[in-house]
Amino acid sequence: MNTIHDVLLRMDQIVDECKSKQSRIGYFAILYRQVTRRVRDGILAGEFEDNPRMEVLDVCFAKRFIDAYELWQQGAGCTESWRLAFEASKEAKHLVLQHLFLGINAHINLDLGIAAAETMAEKELSGIQGDFNQINSLLAELVDGVKSNISKVSPIFGWLIPLAKGRDEMLLNFSIQIARNGAWKYAGEYHADNNKAFQIQDRDQNISALARKLISPGKFLAFLVKIVCFAEWKSVSRTMDQLDVVIDKAVSQ
C-alpha cells in the first residue's frame, strides 16, 4: 500500500470481512475507515501543514493496524496490544465502546508514535508535530461524536457516565488527549533510539497493561457493564451499520 486510496480499498475489504464473519473487530474498522476518509478529504482540501507528507504518515499509520489484523488472522504474532484487542473481539460480554477503545489504545498509544517517527526518519521529528496533533484532533472529534450518540447502539450506556466522577475507571475516563500526549513523547523516544525492536517491545508491554484495564474494569463497573452489554444489539453487522451512521454524522457536524 502506497496511497490512501490503497488503504481505503483494504479497509473496505476488512469491514466486509468483519460483517460476513460477525467479527467485532469491525467496530474499530468502521471508525478507522471514517478517520482515513476524513484525512483523505483534509489532504485534498489542503488542511495540513504538509499534505503529501500527511499521506505518507496516514499510510504508515494504517499499515500498523492492517498488518496486525492480517498477522492475527493468519495465527502469527502481532503486538500484544493488538492481540488483546483482537481476542476480546471474540467475546459478546464487552461493550461496543470497549472494543473501540481497545483499538484506539493500540493504534494511538503504540502505533501512532512509530508511524510518526518512521515518516520523519533522518529528519527532525518536531517538524511533524502540528500534523500529528491534527490527525489526533480528527480522531478525537469522531470519538466524541460516537460517545454523544452511543445510545443508538448502547441504549443505557449513559447511565455509566455520571459514575465516572472521582473514580479511576479506565473505561469511563479514557482520554484521546492523554493518549496523544503519551504517543508524542513515545515518538521522540522511538525516533532517537537505534534499538527500535526494544522500543516497540517495551512500549507494547505498557500499552497492553492499559488494554487489560479496558477489558476488565474494576469491580465497581463489572456488574453495570453486564447490564449495559445485555441491552446492546447482538447482531454485529447491524451494530456496525448503525455505528457507521453515527460516525458519519459526527464527520458531517
**Predicted confidence (pLDDT) at residue 168 exceeds the cutoff of 50:** no
User: Could you list the residue range(s) of the whole structural domain that residue 22 is in?
Assistant: 4-252
Q: What is the pLDDT of residue 18?
A: 97
**Predicted confidence (pLDDT) at residue 73 exceeds the cutoff of 90:** yes
- Distance CA(70)–CA(109), nearest Å, equals 20
140 compared with 52, residue with greater pLDDT = 52
Cα dihedral 56/116/138/109 (nearest 10): 140
Counting the structural domains of the chain, the total is 1
Q: What is the pLDDT of residue 151?
A: 61
Q: Contact 133/234 with Cβ under 8 angstroms?
A: no
Cβ-Cβ contacts under 8 Å for 114 (sequence gap 6 or more): 64, 187, 190, 200
Percent of the chain residues topping a pLDDT of 90:
57
**Predicted confidence (pLDDT) at residue 187 exceeds the cutoff of 60:** yes
Angle between helices 129-148 and 25-44 (to 10 degrees): 130
76 compared with 142, residue with greater pLDDT = 76
